[in-house]
């Protein structure tokens, strides 16, 4: 194991934004491929309003929980300001209980470019404050105790939920790279899940979180920092790559050229190594694929060519007996 990753578990998951499958059967073929192929986790982008087919992330988590027995899964990341925190806390606890502790909840404030703000008449300027309150409400409800809470946006009197999550401390991954997101992660997160950040940008965010943790009186495990990027086995000239990049540009307002990896296993591994050197341990890779067969092919190539190389280069640390 390289010195930069000593003691950390490097794990690779796969993520979906749009639904690329012609029929539901194709989605389950993909899930079964990932479950059997050793993919660490599956992730669904959160989007409530869209003209393109995109699965609702919490319903997708519940469905995947029932289909699988090994793979973990999470939402990357759910926009808290658009949802009721009591309902979301209950959904997370239920899914974690039924999956026997395989849920990886990820939370964020949502992109200011997202169509939901206008379509649902939500105040985009309040999304940070709503998110901070919602995180506290969710954390308290997960304990199973009676919760009294008075905030600017949410008020609870004697509220409790059951069952509680199967995981004694259900992870709370926080997304975002702003100064506020750094403080939010240090204050409330058990991990940080990056999105569009390059390795250098991710490294700066991780450094900021670590610097803020002492003031918050908290710690975050070294291998609880994540990143995400799109990949494509093939050429930038392949049909569908330009379309995927343009879709990313419209959705995020960012230049996709630095955030897509196109080539082969060597290029994908090199990008993973750059992130690992920056302090990242957990990965969500999104196949740049058009249609069901491409999605399956791109996922299979990652499973066959990248996952074994990751395991060989960064072997999982041995657990120390208590």
As a whole number of angstroms, the distance between CA 43 and CA 13 comes to: 7
Residues 267-311 pLDDT 10s: 999 999 999 999 999 999 999 998 999 999 999 999 999 999 999
Asked, as a colleague might, if the bond just before 77 is cis with ω within 30 of 0, I would say yes
DSSP-derived pairing of the beta strands 147-150 and 155-159? antiparallel
Domain assignment present for 318:
no
Percent of the chain with pLDDT over 90: 85
As a whole number of angstroms, the distance between CA 4 and CA 7 comes to: 9
Region 247-271 average pLDDT: 86
Domain assignment present for 176:
yes
Residue 226 is predicted with a pLDDT of: 98
CB-CB neighbours of 297 under 10 Å = 15
Total length of the chain: 322
Domain assignment present for 191:
yes
As a whole number of angstroms, the distance between CA 285 and CA 5 comes to: 19
Domain assignment present for 322:
no
Residue 249 is predicted with a pLDDT of: 78
Domain assignment present for 319:
no
As a whole number of angstroms, the distance between CA 29 and CA 34 comes to: 9
Domain, as residue range, for 93 = 3-313
Domain assignment present for 321:
no
As a whole number of angstroms, the distance between CA 151 and CA 294 comes to: 47
Domain assignment present for 320:
no
Give 247's pLDDT tier (boundaries 50, 70, 90): confident
As a whole number of angstroms, the distance between CA 218 and CA 276 comes to: 23
Residue 5 is predicted with a pLDDT of: 79
Residue 111: name the closest of 56, 178, 171, 52 by CA.
178
φ, ψ of residue 6 to 5 degrees: the values are -55, 130
Residue 290: name the closest of 255, 257, 244 by CA.
244
Residues 123-174 pLDDT 10s: 999 999 999 999 999 999 999 999 999 999 999 999 999 999 999 989 999 9
As a whole number of angstroms, the distance between CA 243 and CA 249 comes to: 10
Residues 191-238 pLDDT 10s: 999 988 999 999 999 999 999 999 999 999 999 999 999 999 998 888
Assess contact for 8 and 320: CB atoms under 8 A: no
Domain assignment present for 82:
yes
As a whole number of angstroms, the distance between CA 273 and CA 216 comes to: 30
CATH code of 267's domain: 3.20.20.30
Domain count for the chain, please give it.
1
As a whole number of angstroms, the distance between CA 208 and CA 255 comes to: 24
Residues paired with residue 225 on neighbouring β-strands, in sequence order: 192
Q: Which residue has the tokens 């992330």?
A: 57
């Amino acid at each position: 194991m390289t010195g930069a990753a000593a003691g950390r578990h490097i794990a690779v998951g796969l993520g979906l934004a749009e639904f690329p499958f012609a029929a539901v059967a194709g989605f389950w073929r993909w899930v079964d491929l990932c479950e059997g192929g050793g993919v660490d986790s599956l992730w669904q982008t959160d989007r409530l309003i869209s003209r393109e087919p995109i699965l609702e992330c919490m319903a997708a988590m519940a469905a995947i929980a029932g289909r699988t027995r090994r793979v973990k899964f999470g939402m990357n990341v759910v926009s808290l300001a658009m949802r009721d925190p009591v309902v979301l806390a209950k959904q997370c606890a239920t899914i974690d209980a039924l999956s026997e502790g395989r849920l990886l909840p990820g939370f964020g404030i949502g992109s200011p470019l997202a169509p939901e703000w206008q379509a649902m008449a939500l105040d985009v300027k309040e999304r940070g404050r709503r998110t901070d309150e919602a995180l506290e409400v969710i954390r308290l409800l997960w304990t199973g105790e009676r919760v009294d809470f008075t905030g600017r946006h949410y008020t609870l009197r004697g509220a409790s939920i059951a069952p509680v999550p199967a995981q004694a401390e259900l992870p709370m991954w926080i997304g975002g790279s702003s100064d506020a997101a750094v403080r939010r992660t240090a204050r409330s997160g058990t991990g940080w899940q990056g999105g569009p950040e390059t390795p250098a940008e991710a490294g700066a965010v991780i450094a900021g979180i670590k610097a803020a943790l002492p003031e918050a009186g908290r710690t975050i495990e070294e291998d609880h920092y994540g990143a995400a990027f799109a990949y494509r086995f093939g050429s930038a000239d392949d049909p569908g790559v330009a379309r995927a990049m343009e879709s990313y540009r419209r959705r995020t307002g960012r230049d996709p050229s630095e955030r897509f990896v196109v080539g082969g296993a060597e290029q994908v591994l090199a990008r993973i190594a750059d992130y690992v050197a920056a302090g990242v341990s957990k990965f969500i890779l999104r196949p740049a694929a058009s249609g069901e067969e491409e999605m399956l092919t791109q996922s299979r190539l990652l499973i066959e060519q990248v996952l074994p190389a990751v395991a060989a280069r960064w072997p999982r640390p041995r657990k120390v007996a208590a």
